[in-house]
């Protein structure tokens, strides 16, 4: 007898199982409240999470500190005790850097943590809300599902259209000793509320716009071509691919194009919503070492790797890769493989138009570095298992070689 009390292992399930594996159960998790759109931030001061808090800790990316000051002043004027930490570490926070932040947070002991920034800031804010006053040590929570609970209320406000961290259950720290990024994945890292206001991205320089957006595009494409792709997530992935590929160049060429900024913000949110239930695959996996060892920005590393990994994966699922291309606006070619290749070429064109280099050499990485990079990639098993085609250490080196 199965869990539903059916005494025969129902013919229904059996009959459709092979066809319908893709509709197997999946857990979709996201902040219960997402305030999305132009001027979303105006709604922040009236958020119940803030109104019900006495002490509020802001962790803010330095470039947007001034933008947030009026809101901070407003909260102080209604009697809130506010502490602001300015985040200005380059790249992902290291264990040691996070220690510094955590010490400050523990001393202030806020009721609510508000992160304002890109992925590194939001990841840090998420971990601060989780770990401040937590009996678990943060070294013990690295991995999937090890972090048991979050201690403080948490609001994430994204200032780039890329990371998706504001809606995902994931945070990344950099282990400065091993030069490897350490993923912490737990429902406890989902914010209580996310604010996604495209106005906050208007000031982003073209280079950062391009790199962060390419990261969001990777989230969508890696989810859609994922071994564990799921129809309930495909909807986000395809719409994200469409929005991003249509609007990236407009935002790159004119940072003030609010229509393009808003579309990218929505596409990036969709990319973020892919991360919890399905997540990324070989692209993000192979980029870990570029970030950890060579301190190449996350988005840039992913952007360079994306076409190379897709070319490698293509044979595993030509149809899915062709659908990605069609979502990018490519017309159907004679077969799926041809369509998919056109899509990959379009990604390369987009990158080229945005000044993203197409080779690792441009970043100072040579053939000699590839084995070490592949070793790091092979350790990212939580993403490696998602790749639609088996990807060995030799394959990884081979993929890197195509873009040296």
Four-CA torsion 31, 32, 37, 43, nearest 10 degrees:
-110
Cβ atoms of residues 400 and 373 within 8 Å: yes
Under the binding rule (CB under 8 A), the answer on residue 28 touching a copy of itself is yes
Cβ distance to a copy of itself smaller for residue 39 or 100: 39
Under the binding rule (CB under 8 A), the answer on residue 1 touching a copy of itself is yes
Contacts of 235 (CB under 8 A, 6+ apart): none
Shortest spacing between CB 278 and a copy of itself, in angstroms: 13
Contacts of 42 (CB under 8 A, 6+ apart): none
For 309, the token pair is: 């990994």
Distance CA 118, CA 333 (A): 38
Cβ distance to a copy of itself smaller for residue 188 or 356: 188
Cβ distance to a copy of itself smaller for residue 279 or 287: 279
Under the binding rule (CB under 8 A), the answer on residue 11 touching a copy of itself is yes
Report 322-341 residues binding a copy of itself (CB under 8 A).
none
Report 190-219 residues binding a copy of itself (CB under 8 A).
190, 197-199, 202
Under the binding rule (CB under 8 A), the answer on residue 262 touching a copy of itself is yes
Under the binding rule (CB under 8 A), the answer on residue 232 touching a copy of itself is yes
Shortest spacing between CB 315 and a copy of itself, in angstroms: 27
- 222 — alpha (psi -120 to 50), left (phi > 0) or beta? alpha
Cβ atoms of residues 37 and 198 within 8 Å: yes
**Which of 176, 259, 315, 349 is the binder for a copy of itself (CB under 8 A)?**
259
Report 56-115 residues binding a copy of itself (CB under 8 A).
66-67, 69-71, 74
CA distances from 393 to 148, 218, 302, 307, 403 (A): 33, 21, 18, 18, 16
Contact window for a copy of itself (CB under 8 A) among 13-21, 77-85, 106-114, 295-303: 13-21
For 182, the token pair is: 């350490």
Bridge partner list, 112:
56, 153
Taking CB under 8 A as the rule, which mask of x and - marks residues 135-174 in contact with a copy of itself? Answer: ----------------------------------------
Q: Is 164 helix (H, G, I), strand (E, B) or coil?
A: coil
Least Cα distance to 44 among 163, 200, 188 occurs for 200
**Which of 8, 39, 178, 361 is the binder for a copy of itself (CB under 8 A)?**
39
Footprint of a copy of itself (CB under 8 A): 1, 3-5, 11-13, 15-16, 19-20, 23-43, 66-67, 69-71, 74, 187, 190, 197-199, 202, 230-232, 235-236, 239, 256-259, 262-263, 266, 269-270
């Amino acid at each position: 007898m199965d869990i539903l009390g059916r005494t025969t292992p129902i013919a229904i399930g059996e009959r459709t199982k092979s066809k319908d594996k893709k509709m197997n159960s999946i857990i979709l998790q996201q902040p219960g409240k997402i305030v999305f759109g132009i001027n979303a931030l105006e709604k922040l001061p009236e958020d119940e999470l803030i109104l019900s808090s006495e002490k509020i800790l802001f962790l803010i990316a330095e470039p947007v500190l001034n933008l947030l000051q009026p809101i901070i002043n407003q909260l102080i004027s209604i009697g809130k005790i506010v502490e602001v930490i300015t985040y200005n570490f380059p790249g992902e926070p290291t264990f040691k850097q996070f220690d510094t932040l955590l010490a400050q947070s523990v001393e202030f002991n806020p009721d609510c943590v508000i992160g304002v920034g890109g992925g590194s800031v939001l990841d840090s804010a998420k971990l601060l809300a989780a770990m401040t006053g937590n009996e678990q040590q943060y070294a013990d929570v690295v991995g999937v599902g090890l972090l048991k609970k979050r201690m403080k209320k948490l609001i994430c406000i994204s200032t780039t259209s890329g990371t998706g961290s504001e809606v995902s259950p994931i945070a990344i720290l950099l282990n400065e000793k091993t030069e490897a990024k350490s993923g912490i994945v737990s429902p406890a890292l989902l914010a209580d509320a996310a604010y996604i206001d495209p106005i906050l991205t208007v000031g982003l320089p073209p280079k950062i716009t391009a790199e962060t957006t390419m990261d969001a595009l990777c989230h969508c494409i890696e989810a859609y071509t994922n071994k564990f792709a799921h129809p309930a997530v495909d909807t986000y992935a395809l719409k994200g691919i469409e929005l991003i590929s249509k609007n990236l160049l407009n935002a790159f060429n004119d940072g003030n194009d609010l229509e393009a900024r808003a579309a990218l913000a929505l596409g990036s949110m969709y990319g973020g919503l892919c991360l919890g239930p399905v997540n990324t695959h070989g692209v993000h996996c192979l980029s870990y070492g570029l970030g950890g060892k060579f301190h190449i920005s996350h988005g840039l590393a992913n952007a360079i790797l994306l076409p190379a990994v897709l070319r490698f994966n293509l044979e595993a699922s030509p149809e899915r890769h062709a659908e990605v291309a069609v979502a990018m606006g490519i017309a159907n070619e004679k077969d799926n493989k041809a369509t998919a290749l056109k899509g990959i070429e379009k990604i390369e064109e987009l990158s080229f138009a945005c000044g993203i280099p197409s080779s690792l050499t441009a970043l100072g990485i040579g053939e000699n570095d590839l084995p070490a990079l592949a070793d790091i990639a092979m350790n990212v098993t939580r993403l490696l298992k998602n790749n639609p085609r088996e990807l060995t250490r030799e394959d990884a080196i081979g993929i890197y070689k195509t873009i040296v």
